Amino acid sequence: MTVSGSSNSGEVPTVLVTDAQGSSLLCFLEQLIPIEGSDYALLTPVDTPVSLFHLIEDGDPELIETIKSSEPILEVADVVLQEHDLTLIRSAVTLTVTGELDEPDPEELEEDDIEDDSETYELLVSFRVDDKEYGLYIPLDPFFVVARLKDSQAILVEGEEFDRIQPLIESELDEREMSD
């Protein structure tokens, strides 16, 4: 696990998380949770996570859950973001954006903002590719990543392991909250 940051300066340590494909994502370490003899970390991305939606005229936007990093849609998104001095990063777990972003204000949601499965997103940019409209949205709810810490590495917890460990992490966090 590559951890940096100094605890005595008040800075939050960072962890570089790697997924099964070898992609990585730099995250802040929010919580360290020991479960079943392993250490798990609850993390938040250092850069701003974004979600890609296909915008449908007269219909609800559709979240594009899986996209290859070489997808032409992302090349167009790169160009559009560069016009705003932002950079799209194809990270593990999610797409992220670096650069100076205005912090979204949940009380000032515009009609371009969407709610999907109880999560709320704010439109960052929209663009067209092959006569279809797409949008990159910033999730307004916290975006957490779970990693297993092993042999000085942070490995993304995915699939069956995530399904198994998620309730245990939530239970541990609930217990910690009740004891505070």
Model confidence at 150, pLDDT cuts 50, 70, 90, reads confident
Give the predicted TM-score (pTM) of the model.
Answer: 0.78
Question: Cβ(156)–Cβ(20) under 8 Å?
Answer: yes
Question: Cβ(29)–Cβ(39) under 8 Å?
Answer: no
Question: In this structure, what token pair is assigned to residue 2?
Answer: 């590559």
Longest dimension (CA), the chain: 55
Architecture of domain 3-45+142-179: Roll (2.30)
As annotated, the residues of the chain forming the CATH 2.30.30 domain(s) are 3-45+142-179
E-strand spans in 19-161?
Answer: 24-35, 38-45, 48-55, 62-63, 87-90, 95-98, 114-116, 119-129, 132-139, 145-150, 153-156
pLDDT tens per residue, range 30-55 = 999 999 889 999 999 999 999 999 98
